Structures are given as structure tokens and as C-alpha cells.
Structure 1
Amino acid sequence: MLKSCSVNFFKNGTNKILFRAASKDVVKSAESHMKAQTASQTLPGAYTLGNDLRVACFTNDSEISSTAIHVEAGTRNETSETNGVSNLIARLAGKGTSSSKFEDMQMKLSKLGASLDVNVTRETTSFVVTGFSKDALQHAEIVSDVVKNSVFDENAIMKERDAILTDIERNLDNLPQITMDYLYSVAFEGTPMSNPLTGSTSNVESLARKDIMQFIKHNYKAPRMILTTVGGQVDLDKLADAAEKNLGDVSADFEHATGYPQPCRFTAMEVQHRDDDLPLAHVAMGFNGCSYNSPDRIPLMLLAEIMGAHDKSHGGLAQGLNKMGAVTQNPETGLYSIRPFAHFYSDCGLFGTHYVADADNLYDTGLYICHFLRDQCLNMIDSSLARAKRSLKRKLIEDMYSLPALQGKMAQDIFFGPGRPVSLEETVSELESLSVDQVQDVGVEYIRDQEFARAAYGPTEGVFDYNQSMDALRGLRW
């Protein structure tokens, strides 16, 4: 069944963009969204101020630390008219506040040996100052000033708008990113989650200062903010005092009936952007995943590890233990690379894989991947799960040495998880307790015989048929 929808993506010459939707929208029950704790509650490892703003820190022996304010506002909080405003705010952060000019702020950061970075995701915006841990409280003061008092000068807005438009044009050559944007546009069709992080060209050109100020007024509220410090020996009590001093006056009142977006639905749908001039096709296949706080999150991460990320350029593993790696690195196959993904949000998720193959082998590649996924649901072996556990633990441990990764995890734990920082030991304990049967059960629920969203870019004529993909995922039932 064909279904039309509009997507703000680049079209070139005779390239064709084809849409096809499944016969129904697939909607899973969304887990309840984690709301801010009341003022009387103190979270383990964190504080909650009187205005419901939360404070948390992770300490170690490092001389470097990062201090951040995470705001639970991103692309999902934008409308179709204001898509891209979060990214514009991020680009303008640090360009001057009501109490400090741009040059003065740069000089202050330079004297402290610190830097300011802002990261935007679909559900959060993080303002991060990184420098020596002994200056963490000063970092908290600087980042608070940026979040509360940025002036958003008209000239700066015009310059950043032009820079974003240049980035959008440059990213037209980033085929993996374009393919994933296509996937999100159909997997979450009709919701803000379907919009690209940078916004469309027309939106960016029309965004004005009033749009920025209105977005901040509606979304930058204390219950949706966390002040966190990662690294060094920062005292949590002192950090809480600094938060009270610098952020205690941030409003906790929402003007809307609810301060949170509506639950996000998943739609099983397909989009193909055909361009036969490209040598390889990029295909992204996404299943309806789970929320960040779901008990199924770790099993889905393990399923992604079992598949693994492989590329023909890796070489040397064609006779290895991982079947997907052996197929990818075999010079006689047309599969050039494959990379699984498992994205988790407040009440939804997207699990799947992105792969690159030549036009002549797209059909066989799609068939093999569907069979591989089905086998993990029905015939997983102990050694595969053991290797996946080791691989995932290694990545979790590596993240403990990455300040950005720790900041992102802390924000997700508090916003979308149990409401407190979750230790590595807790995660590893949960991971180790999972058996083959438990992981297979999760695979059956989310993958086997489940409708999915798919996006393809390039010479897409040979893409494995959607209905045949469903049959390959289903297999025989007795």
C-alpha cells in the first residue's frame, strides 16, 4: 500500500523518492515518563533544589572535569515550524550574555584553561564547560550564565543561520546521515521525532530571535534541568550550593497544560531515494525499540553486539567466529559494511542496522540480514552471547574514561532512567544475569515477525522486498 508524506530532503534531477507504508501503524505501550522529583525528595547520589532542579556529580582522581547543565529539550520539543531552533540555540551559546560580552567570556574561559561545548540530541540539550577540576564551581557559574542570560544578538543569529545552511548543504554528501534521517522521518512519521536535528533549509532561514526566546520560555524550566559535574573531587554539597546560588531563581512553572511532549508512536513504513549514479546503496532498517528505562534495553544492546560492526577494510576476519563479520569481510560478497544501532529515548526507541552494499547484491544482503536476525531470536548460541557480553562490558568501561560519555549517561539516567546516576557495577550485574533464553525472548518480541521501518538511498532497485523481509524474519512456525 502506497502512502504519501512530505520530507524536507534534497532531490536531484531524475532521482526518485518512493514511499511505502505497512497496512497499519505499529504502536507499543509507552513506559511512563520520568517526571521531576518533588522538592522534599533527595535522590541517591543527587540533590533536588526547591525549584525541582537536580544536581549530581561523579568524582574520580582526574585533574580534568566537565560541568554541564542538561536541559530536557531538543528536536522533540520543536514544532514543524520551529524545527532546528534547538540547534540554533546551541550554535549561539557563549556568543554573549547580559552580564558578559563574547570577548569577555572567551577571555574568562581562556584564563581557566577551559572550553565551552553545546550538544543537541532529539530530547536533550547539554551545555558543557570542560577544564581543571579545581575550577569546577567557576565552571558552574559560567555555564549557568550561558543558559540563563544569553542575549542572542541579531547579528550573531544571522551569522549562525548562514553557517547552519552551509552545514546542511555539506551534509548532502554524508550518505549514512541522510539515510538515518530518512529512517527517522518514516519510523516516527507525524511526530517531532521525525525531524532532522539541524532543521530544514526553509525553517532555518525563517527562524528569528522571537522563536528562540519563546522556545526557551516554554522549555527551559527547572524540573527539566540538571547541573552535573564529572571528574575530579568536586563536593556535591558545594555544587548544590552553587546551583542554588546561580540557578535557584529558574522558574518551575509551565505555561502549557503539560511540560512534556505527547507519547511518540512508531510507524512501519519504507522510503527509497533512488539515485543510480551512486556506486553503493545505503540501507537502514529500524524496529520499534524500547524506552531507556525499560528492562529490555540491555538485551537489545546485547543483540546489537552479537551482530557487531564490520567493514571490508577491516580484513583478516573472514574466517572469524562472527558470521556477520565473515560475510562482510569476504571479498566475494557485495556487503561492504554493516553497523547496528540501538537508540533509546524517554518513551520510545529504535533498534536496527545500517548497511552498505552494491546494487547487484542488495537482494541477497537483505535476505541474509533478515535470516541472521531471526536466528538470534530462535537459535542463539551461548558463545555468541558470551562474546557480546565481553564486548559490551568493554565499551561500558571505556565510557567511564570519557567525560562526554559520562555526562550523557548521567543525563539519561536522571531524565529517563531511575532518576539517579546508575553505577557501572549495577549495569554489569544486570548484563551478566541475562541468559540466552531471556535475550532470545526480547528478540522475539521486538524483531521476529515484527513490522519495521526502512530507508534506502542510492541504486535501490534491488532492495529486498518488504513482504519477503517479513517472511524471512518470521520463518517457519510449528
Structure 2
Amino acid sequence: MVMRAFVQPLNKLLMRSNSILTSKVNPSTYILNPSTDSSQFSKSQLVNHGELEDGVIPEALKYSLPFYQDTLSNGLKVASEPSNVPLVTVTLQVKAGVRNESFQTNGLGHFIKKLRARGTEKRSRSQLAADLENMGAAFNIKTGKEMTTFQIEVQPKDLKKAMDVLSDIALSSKFNKNFIEEQREASLTGLRDTADVRKFILENIHYTAFRDHMIGQPIRGNQVSIGNITQEGIKDYIDAHYIATRMVLVATGSVNHEEFRSLAEKHFGQVKNSGRDITGEDKPIFTGSQVQIRDDDVDMSHAGIFYLAPSWNSEDYFAFQILQRIMGNYRPARDSIINHPHLQYNYLHKWFGEIEDFGEHDSYYIPYSDVGLFGHYASTLDLSGFFSPHACLKATRRATNYVMEAEKYRARNRYYNDLLNNNDLFAQGKEIADQLYYAKRRIPRSEIAKRVSVADARYLEKIYTAWLWDCELALAFYGPIFTQVRLYGTYRGYTNDSNQI
């Protein structure tokens, strides 16, 4: 039997107050009865939900998985979201990122991440690898601007051992001086690797936008800062940030919450709840500027065009999630008729289709705790390199003046499908951990869908005008860019009517 629940429309309340934090709506309004039909959460083909009225969400999104949350005695948050997936993923997220480093030791968090694979106090490097392999575990550590995330995925029968390994890596890694010197050489060599050009452009966008703040510094550091890393510096960083009140522990998949909480208490219950003074909590200041890196040995020209955008805590957060889906991503297929410029439903993609030798395009909305970035990455051959930034600027400026009803419906449908097809346990764990840190609670997908459904086109135009009209830009160019370089003021003029595109 499938239990069904209905959410009363809240259009008037949410139309002008779309905040995930400041809305006065009781969160329990959105916590609907979970479905007993596991197919509600299975992977399926994308669905065209049509032009649903404002405030109406697809029936399948009225169901949310059960969610449990506790706080250990030391302040560490423990949460789980059980499902019928025959695996379990444990996510440990620590509020420690580049913004908590210093200019002298930039790259320290990423450096520590690399050292963790070299063994712990209980396990040598080979023993650690053997334990993970014997469980058939998928393990990953990711360092970011604000967070460091540990994730391990195993079969349910191996959860106890997985928790032991995870806590060992996160809390008892060995940082001896020989390992540090070996990793220093490897890190310095890695700085010369620019194979992932998209990541390289995004790093430079952050740098030129927030160059006076640590959030703008590269995750991998630089040659000088890596040379400054010491064993004592690593210990100080761990002592300051790896404390219970800055941690969130989440399990997704086939998990029993009481068992998981008991394991969390056993392996993380002794983590201290206070540490040294924390740096990097001041708000970054966005600076309009551009950075140009010419390399004639690169085949393609690469561009990043970014704007200041809402933070995670902003009431305009969901409006920019919709904008990212309006702009979308574009990959030309020259031999396919569906990629013909005149058959593109998206104006930006239509303009890209008219550019000869266009490479690819991705749009990004990157929110942090107190600031955010929205923008575009585009690549093309140099002869067309001048036109791709203009197309991005033109499409973004258009959104401040006019959002078509069709664009709104397509963006909503894409968002609904993203919610319905989020079956990656790693992604689910990261999403829950982010929400527990930024929003202080789990945001049910039914609530997200409801907030998206009440954002009409005129409301979106108003929000985009406030953020994207007549504003500063962060620009980054890389490759054989001699025909692409223009003065910053020229691009800046395209955010209003002073320069016609």
C-alpha cells in the first residue's frame, strides 16, 4: 500500500520569501509520509512533468525518505537516511577548508589529504589498502574551499569495520617527517599539472574575485606555501578544526539508525569539542577584475565569466539554482540535426551553435556560507574565442530583462528530475551534510520542489536584476588568447546598456 500525502499550496507565503532559513514556515509542514513503494526512489528516465501550475509539484516528489538525526554528548551531529539501496555510505564532513588556512600555509588541507593515504597509528599504508580492498569499499577524501569530506561505501555487513577504518583515517593519520618531505616533492610536481582546464579556470576565477581572502586561494597551494608546511603546522591545523562541533556524520542507504548512532558514539564520541582559534571566518569581498594566462601550446581558448551571487543562506538561493538550469550545459554534435542552432530551445545554446568551432559550455552556481559565484565556462578555438564570452554575457543580461515562461517550466522540470534521480549515495551524503551545516536541518525534497514551484518568471527577473544588472565581473582567460583579450571595462559594459552586444 502506498501512503499519499498532500501539501497545501503556500504560494502567497513563499512567493516573496524563498529562503531556506528565514522563512517562518514550520519545517514539519514539508515532512510528508514516506512511501512504502521503493520504486518511488528508483532510477528512472527523465520525465516531462509538463507546465504544472505555480505551487503544484509532481506527485512523486510529495514523498520523502525517512530521516533521523541525533547529537552526541560532545556536540557531533549524527544523521541517517535509510533506503532500499543494498549498500551503505558513511560521510564525515569537517568544516575545514582553504578559507581556514593562511597565506603562508596555503594548500595545507590538500597536503594533509594526500598524507592520509600513507598510513595511520594503527595501520600501515599496505594494511590500510588491504582493509579497504577486502571490504570492496569505495573511499574518497575531498578538500574544498570550506569543507573536507571523507566518504566510504561498503556492504551493510561491513559497516562496523568501515566505521573503524574511517575514524582511523580521519583522527589517527600518521604525519611523520619522512612522509611530509616525500609529499612535498609530489605536491610541487603536481602544481605544474593544468590538464583539467575547467578546474584551472575555476581556481583563477576564485583568485581574481577574492584575491585578498583565503577563499580565493588555490586548493593545492603554491610553491612558497607548500615549502612552509611543517609537522607542527599540520598538528596545529588538526587540533583547531577536527573537533566535534565542526563535524557532521551521515549514513545513507541500507542502514539502521540506532546501530549507526552506537557506532558513531564508539568511534567518534571521544573527539574533543573545542580547539584553537579559527581563522578565515571573515566575509570575502568580491572584486571585479580579470586574469589572463596566455599559452600558445594549448589548442583551445578557455574563458570563465562569473558574477557575485547569493550565499547558501540567502533567500535568493533557489532562484539561482533555477538560473543555472535555465542556462544549462552545451556540447555541440556537428553531425546531429538536433544540435542545429535553430532547433535549440535555449537562447544561449542557439548562439553557441552559430559559433564556428565551439568547444563546450557549462554554467555554475557555487554558493558558500556567506558569498557565492554564478557564471559560465566556455571553450572554443581561438578564432572564435572573442564571441563565446559575449554570448554568455548576452544570455545573462537577457535573464535580468526577460525570463520566458517556457524557460521557467523547462528549468523546473530539470530541477524536479534532478531531485527524483538523485540515487548516488555519495551525492546524497554530501547533500545532507551540507544542509545540516548551512541550513541546520535536512531540507526534504518535497520542500525544495515546493519552493521552486512558486518562483514565477517575474519574481525570477526581479532577483536576477538585483544581482546581475550593471555589476562587476570576475573574468579568467587561458590559452592562445591574443584575439580574445579585451579591456575589463569593455566586458563590464555588457552588464548594462552602455555596450550593445
The answer for the alignment partner of 2:104 in structure 1 is 81
The answer for the alignment partner of 1:27 in structure 2 is none
Matched, 1:126 2:146: no
TM-score (norm 1): 0.84
TM-aligned CA distance change 1:114 to 1:335, over 3 Å: closer
- Give the whole-Å Cα distance in 2 for the aligned partners of 1:129 and 1:305: 30
- Give the whole-Å Cα distance in 1 for the aligned partners of 2:268 and 2:484: 56
Q: Is the 8 A contact 1:93 1:118 kept in 2?
A: no
Matched, 1:184 2:214: no
Q: Which amino acid is 1:357 matched to?
A: T
The answer for the alignment partner of 2:349 in structure 1 is 325
Q: Is the 8 A contact 2:302 2:378 kept in 1?
A: yes
Q: Percent identity?
A: 23
- Quote the offset at 1:360 in angstroms: 3.7
Matched, 1:436 2:457: yes
Q: Is the 8 A contact 1:96 1:151 kept in 2?
A: yes
- Quote the offset at 1:77 in angstroms: 0.8
The answer for the alignment partner of 1:366 in structure 2 is 389
Equivalent residue in structure 2 for 1:207, among 221, 229, 242? 229
Deviates more, 1:433-442 or 1:332-341: 332-341
Q: Which amino acid is 2:455 matched to?
A: L
- Give the whole-Å Cα distance in 1 for the aligned partners of 2:298 and 2:274: 52
Q: Is the 8 A contact 1:68 1:140 kept in 2?
A: no
- Quote the offset at 1:336 in angstroms: 2.9
Q: Deviations over 1:433-467 (max 9, x none)?
A: 21111211121111111111111112144345433
Q: Which amino acid is 2:348 matched to?
A: M
The answer for the alignment partner of 1:246 in structure 2 is 267
TM-aligned CA distance change 1:242 to 1:168, over 3 Å: same
Q: Deviations over 1:120-170 (max 9, x none)?
A: 11111112221102322332222112222112233333333333333322x
- Quote the offset at 1:255 in angstroms: 2.5
Q: Deviations over 1:250-272 (max 9, x none)?
A: 1112322x576222221111112
What runs of 5+ residues in structure 1 fail to find an aligned partner? Answer: 1-30, 34-43
Q: Which amino acid is 1:440 matched to?
A: E
Matched, 1:296 2:319: no
- Quote the offset at 1:32 in angstroms: 10
TM-aligned CA distance change 1:99 to 1:310, over 3 Å: same
Q: How does 1:198-237 map to 2 (within 5 A)?
A: 198-232=220-254, 234-237=255-258
- Quote the offset at 1:204 in angstroms: 2.4
- Quote the offset at 1:51 in angstroms: 1.4
TM-aligned CA distance change 1:259 to 1:49, over 3 Å: farther
- Quote the offset at 1:225 in angstroms: 0.5
What runs of 5+ residues in structure 2 fail to find an aligned partner? Answer: 1-19, 23-66
- Quote the offset at 1:244 in angstroms: 1.8
Q: Is the 8 A contact 2:99 2:280 kept in 1?
A: no
Q: Is the 8 A contact 1:448 1:473 kept in 2?
A: yes
The answer for the alignment partner of 1:72 in structure 2 is 95
Deviates more, 1:115-124 or 1:309-318: 309-318
The answer for the alignment partner of 1:453 in structure 2 is 474
Matched, 1:308 2:340: no
- Give the whole-Å Cα distance in 2 for the aligned partners of 1:278 and 1:142: 43
TM-aligned CA distance change 1:105 to 1:338, over 3 Å: closer
TM-aligned CA distance change 1:156 to 1:252, over 3 Å: same
Q: Deviations over 1:35-91 (max 9, x none)?
A: xxxxxxxxx731111211110112111111111211110111111111111112111
- Give the whole-Å Cα distance in 1 for the aligned partners of 2:107 and 2:268: 26
- Give the whole-Å Cα distance in 1 for the aligned partners of 2:261 and 2:280: 25
Matched, 1:114 2:149: no
Q: Is the 8 A contact 1:447 1:473 kept in 2?
A: yes
- Give the whole-Å Cα distance in 2 for the aligned partners of 1:204 and 1:338: 33
Q: How does 1:320-399 map to 2 (within 5 A)?
A: 320-330=344-354, 333=356, 335-398=358-421
What CA RMSD, in Å, does the superposition of the two structures yield over aligned residues? 2.4
Q: Which amino acid is 1:146 matched to?
A: I
Q: Which amino acid is 1:145 matched to?
A: D
Question: How many pairs were matched up?
Answer: 431
- Give the whole-Å Cα distance in 2 for the aligned partners of 1:431 and 1:441: 15
- Give the whole-Å Cα distance in 1 for the aligned partners of 2:441 and 2:482: 45
Q: Which amino acid is 1:425 matched to?
A: S
Equivalent residue in structure 1 for 2:165, among 113, 137, 142? 142
SS in 2 for 1:261: coil
- Give the whole-Å Cα distance in 2 for the aligned partners of 1:156 and 1:457: 34
TM-aligned CA distance change 1:325 to 1:363, over 3 Å: same
- Give the whole-Å Cα distance in 1 for the aligned partners of 2:176 and 2:139: 18
Q: Deviations over 1:215-269 (max 9, x none)?
A: 101111110011111111x22222222222221221112322x576222221111
TM-score (norm 2): 0.80
Equivalent residue in structure 1 for 2:288, among 249, 258, 268? 268
SS in 1 for 2:122: coil
- Give the whole-Å Cα distance in 2 for the aligned partners of 1:54 and 1:141: 18
Matched, 1:402 2:418: no
